[in-house]
Amino acid sequence: MLGRKGFAVLAVILIVALLAGCTQQPASKEQSKPAEQPKADKIKIGVVAPLTGDVATFGQSTKNAIELARDQLNAKGGLLGKQVELVFEDDKNDPNETAAAVKKLISQDKVVAIVGSVASKCTLAGAPIAQENKIPMITPTSTNEKVTPIGEYISRACFIDPFQGKVMAKFAGENLKAKAAAMLYDVSNDYSKGLAENFKAAFEAAGGKVVESQTYGKGDQDFHAQLTKIKPTKPDVIFLPDYYNTVGLIAKQVREVGIKSVLLGGDGWDSEDLVKIGGDAVEGGYFSNHYSVEQKNPEAVDFIKAYKDKYGKEPDALAALGYDAVTMLFDAIRRAGKTDGPAVKDAINATKNFKAVSGSITLDANRNPIKSAVVVTIAKGKQKFVTQVNP
Ligand code: PHE
């Protein structure tokens, strides 16, 4: 039962709530509280990416694009009548950090799904935790084939490395008429090692030969010993399946020791910093990628324009795929009509002909999209589209 005092308190609360709801004037902190949307009225999505560290451009592009997608969605009324809130976690391209970030997003932030991470070795560490907790996780960019077999809650917006390795092997053999290839890669990085193996298998199946294979470890900066072994084998091409920061360093040393071979790589080359680090040494190199800024599908045209307007520069593939992964998730939540893990997971896994920036996405039985790749070259310090390769 409410006494007089109780009624008075209730009346005050009511009036304050009404005022806060009706007036345009900024209310004081105390008064504004009742008008704020309660937490449950937002859909929380976690994002894990390397926002700092050795491949920070990957994380920054991913974050930019995902924030753009959120703004566009929320401006149109959000999802299931609610606004979407993003919680970003920086994994610094370190698998231990990814695992901790995924745990935190699930247990503390109570996100309904996660987009991330970028590097395969990181996603491989975070995904088992999402799977165990029945929280759907879509990686925009992790191409290593072992990622999605972790479980049915894990999917991706990108093609996988057995395809990417084939793309570059075919390009080397058919377009560059290469017969002898050398490889230099990071054995401690699942992506680098996996892509090297895939390239070798495809190149040799097509009649070429990998004449020398050299490796290094995490954080190595001096590759002269390995390059001294590669030089006398006179390869037509050298395959460097690593991220832009290391590739830039290797490329410089390749030219320093007088090797003239054409340099080839994969999606990990994609960064505005590749040319800043590698300079002239990466000129004339070729790499496979998920998208090109010269692409003309309407989704890409709209995205490129919106991204440029907001950030003043062209989006790279990390941005395109970050956007694709999060919009694919929005689409799945919309179709699921609710946000509980199993329902969203089922909707994600049923993704079909989703019109994405990087091309149409249909997930196969292993939760991998079947998509085409592009090959780009570095010409006068800029990326230039060379060809598209279909699966
Ligand atoms: N494919 C890389 C990996 O799996 C990540 C990456 C994707 C980097 C796209 C650059 C561009 O580790």
Taking CA atoms only, the protein residue closest to ligand 1 atom 8 is 268
CATH number of the domain that residue 309 is part of: 3.40.50.2300
Q: Is the peptide bond before 32 cis (omega within 30 degrees of 0)?
A: no
Q: Looking at 231, 266, 289, which one is the last position of a domain? A: 289
**Does the beta carbon of 267 sit less than 6 angstroms from any atom of ligand 1?**
yes
| Token pair of 41 as six digits | 């009225």
Please say if the pLDDT value at position 27 is more than 60. no
Counting the structural domains of the chain, the total is: 2
**Does the beta carbon of 118 sit less than 6 angstroms from any atom of ligand 1?**
yes
**Does the beta carbon of 325 sit less than 6 angstroms from any atom of ligand 1?**
no
Residue 299 covered by a domain: yes
Residue 269 covered by a domain: yes
- Strands lying side by side in the sheet with 113-116: 83-90, 42-49, 113-116, 137-139, 154-156
Span from the CA of 268 to the centroid of ligand 1 (angstroms): 5
Q: Are residues 116 and 141 in the same domain?
A: yes
Q: pLDDT per residue over 125-161, tens digit each?
A: 999 999 999 999 999 999 999 999 999 999 999 999 9
Q: Are residues 259 and 193 in the same domain?
A: yes
Q: Are residues 317 and 233 in the same domain?
A: no
- Strands 209-216, 180-186: parallel, antiparallel or unpaired by DSSP? parallel
Q: Are residues 190 and 96 in the same domain?
A: no
**Does the beta carbon of 245 sit less than 6 angstroms from any atom of ligand 1?**
no
Span from the CA of 118 to the centroid of ligand 1 (angstroms): 6
Residue 28 covered by a domain: no
Q: Which residues pair with residue 369 across a beta bridge?
A: 363
Taking CA atoms only, the protein residue closest to ligand 1 atom 10 is 268
Q: Are residues 50 and 108 in the same domain?
A: yes
Please say if the pLDDT value at position 224 is more than 50. yes
Q: pLDDT per residue over 310-364, tens digit each?
A: 999 999 999 999 999 999 999 999 999 999 999 999 999 999 999 999 999 999 9
**Does the beta carbon of 268 sit less than 6 angstroms from any atom of ligand 1?**
yes
Work out the pLDDT band at 5, boundaries 50, 70, 90: low
- Residue 147 alpha carbon, nearest atom of ligand 1: 4
The answer to whether the CB of 157 falls within 8 A of the CB of 325 is yes
Task: State which residues form the domain around 46.
Answer: 40-159+294-371
The answer to whether the CB of 359 falls within 8 A of the CB of 275 is no
Q: Are residues 149 and 194 in the same domain?
A: no
Q: Looking at 289, 304, 324, which one is the last position of a domain? A: 289
Work out the pLDDT band at 11, boundaries 50, 70, 90: very low
Q: Looking at 289, 305, 320, which one is the last position of a domain? A: 289
Report the C-alpha dihedral over residues 13, 14, 20, 24, rounded to 10 degrees.
-150
Q: What is the reported pLDDT for 157? A: 98
- Residue 271 alpha carbon, nearest atom of ligand 1: 10
Q: What is the reported pLDDT for 28? A: 42
Residue 260 covered by a domain: yes
Integer Cα distance of 325 and 342 in angstroms: 18
Q: Are residues 278 and 319 in the same domain?
A: no
Distance in Å from the first CA to the final CA of the chain: 72
Question: Does the model's pTM come out above 0.85?
Answer: yes
Residue 243 covered by a domain: yes
Residue 13 covered by a domain: no
Work out the pLDDT band at 272, boundaries 50, 70, 90: very high
Q: Are residues 55 and 133 in the same domain?
A: yes
Q: Are residues 60 and 141 in the same domain?
A: yes
**Does the beta carbon of 120 sit less than 6 angstroms from any atom of ligand 1?**
yes
Residue 385 covered by a domain: no
Span from the CA of 129 to the centroid of ligand 1 (angstroms): 21
Taking CA atoms only, the protein residue closest to ligand 1 atom 4 is 142
Q: What is the reported pLDDT for 14? A: 42
Q: Are residues 215 and 250 in the same domain?
A: yes
E strand or H helix that includes residue 308: helix 298-311
Measuring CA to CA, which residue among 48, 244, 217 is closest to residue 142? 48
- Residue 121 alpha carbon, nearest atom of ligand 1: 12
Q: Are residues 57 and 141 in the same domain?
A: yes
Q: CA 373, 296, 140 angle in degrees (round to 5)?
A: 45
Q: Are residues 141 and 218 in the same domain?
A: no
- Residue 143 alpha carbon, nearest atom of ligand 1: 4
**Does the beta carbon of 58 sit less than 6 angstroms from any atom of ligand 1?**
yes
* Probe target for ligand 1 pocket from 118, 245, 324, 374, with the most ligand atoms within 8 Å of CB: 118
Residue 85 covered by a domain: yes
